[in-house]
Structure 1
């Protein structure tokens, strides 16, 4: 029986205030302050992960630790991720480490293509990525952003066909849009808001800015 959990259920559960469900799982950022404290938190997370037999992706930097939780057998989040999220937040609290949800985001590169297979083959070769699902490419090391290749009917010489998808916390979306507009950007499309906004920089290069995932984007 699947233990899949929706983003809404994850958000509503106790002990998840540190976390945001974005484009590629549940993520948190912990301000460790120094490398030794970060290493101690990594060790505590390692013990919890072994006890639960469920393992996160960790990115330790000098003064912070990024954590991503996803159940690879489901391709989405599960109750295993929920329990591990609680344990990680508890371990951070015991070490005096605070989470900063405003730092959480995930990034994906999106490419519009008429011939998806041909375009996918090129980017797989040049990036050294591996295929995932029908039109996805992913870094086998789980370091670089995923690449999503989406079908279009005809080439669009009037618009660029590569854009970036940026997922941030729903509580940060308005702040991020305002910052982009203040930096000279413009909103190209908001018909799909509040699920996502398409913005462009001063020269027309586009980005889709989306808040953390809603249940409409989740499937068990």
Structure 2
């Protein structure tokens, strides 16, 4: 019997998760495509019933012809066996109604701000965006409702020719290299792959940097 309080490693999640789910930025995610809004709503209702039965509830994004899903066990601070179990149940529901799983399109984004003094600028960003400080983590401002990117502060002195704010785009680990290649083909420049496959640093033609990130270790 699995221990529902166990926090799984990303490697364990990759090995055990249903094939139509991916870990992205610490959450198990997928997207399910259907024919129209009525079908999407019906799928959500079926998933809600299974979630109530499991007493474990995913974040659900209902759109015209797709449903986005995110799973994490907040009480244990990570992904647990019950996330994998509910993901499997949702996959079976999706198969029953003919929904198409497209987990490769799931992404997450954070905004990184380089600063030598996070305490000095943090009040500005909380006032501007409505983000609140994370408990026990002064370097992060989580989204107040899960709809906006997390903001985090990276200790760094100003460097000539480098932007102070950058995007970290989290993608499924099996899509990362393709995303990097697409960015380079679109006029980007690979600044470094020293930290791959955990993250690649890229820049646009003006030198603005961004990172493509995965759960994988360096």
TM-score range, shorter chain: over 0.9
Task: Report the counterpart of residue 128 of structure 1 in structure 2.
Answer: 130
Task: Report the counterpart of residue 116 of structure 1 in structure 2.
Answer: 118
Query: CA–CA distance in 1 between the matches of 2:121 and 2:21?
Result: 35
2:7–2:77 Cα contact (<8 Å) kept: no
- Does the alignment pair 1:59 with 2:61? yes
2:29–2:68 Cα contact (<8 Å) kept: yes
1:65-214 counterparts in 2 under 5 A? 65-132=67-134, 133-152=137-156, 154-211=157-214, 213-214=215-216
2:31–2:69 Cα contact (<8 Å) kept: yes
Q: Normalising by structure 1, what TM-score?
A: 0.91
Query: CA–CA distance in 2 between the matches of 1:206 and 1:107?
Result: 14
CA RMSD of aligned residues (A): 1.6
Q: What SS is found at the alignment partner of 2:169?
A: strand
By how many angstroms is 1:156 displaced? 2.3
Q: What SS is found at the alignment partner of 2:110?
A: strand
Query: CA–CA distance in 2 between the matches of 1:71 and 1:104?
Result: 19
Unpaired stretches in structure 2, ≥5 consecutive residues: none
Task: Report the counterpart of residue 9 of structure 2 in structure 1.
Answer: 6
Where has structure 1 moved over 2 Å in runs of 4 or more? 154-158
By how many angstroms is 1:74 displaced? 2.7
By how many angstroms is 1:101 displaced? 1.9
Query: CA–CA distance in 2 between the matches of 1:137 and 1:127?
Result: 10
Query: CA–CA distance in 2 between the matches of 1:56 and 1:119?
Result: 34
The count of corresponding residues between Structure 1 and Structure 2 is 213
Query: CA–CA distance in 2 between the matches of 1:57 and 1:119?
Result: 31
Query: CA–CA distance in 2 between the matches of 1:33 and 1:149?
Result: 42
1:3–1:80 Cα contact (<8 Å) kept: no
Query: CA–CA distance in 2 between the matches of 1:117 and 1:79?
Result: 38
By how many angstroms is 1:172 displaced? 1.3
CA, structure 1 residues 108+56, in 2 after alignment: closer, same or farther (shift >3 Å)?
same
Q: Normalising by structure 2, what TM-score?
A: 0.92
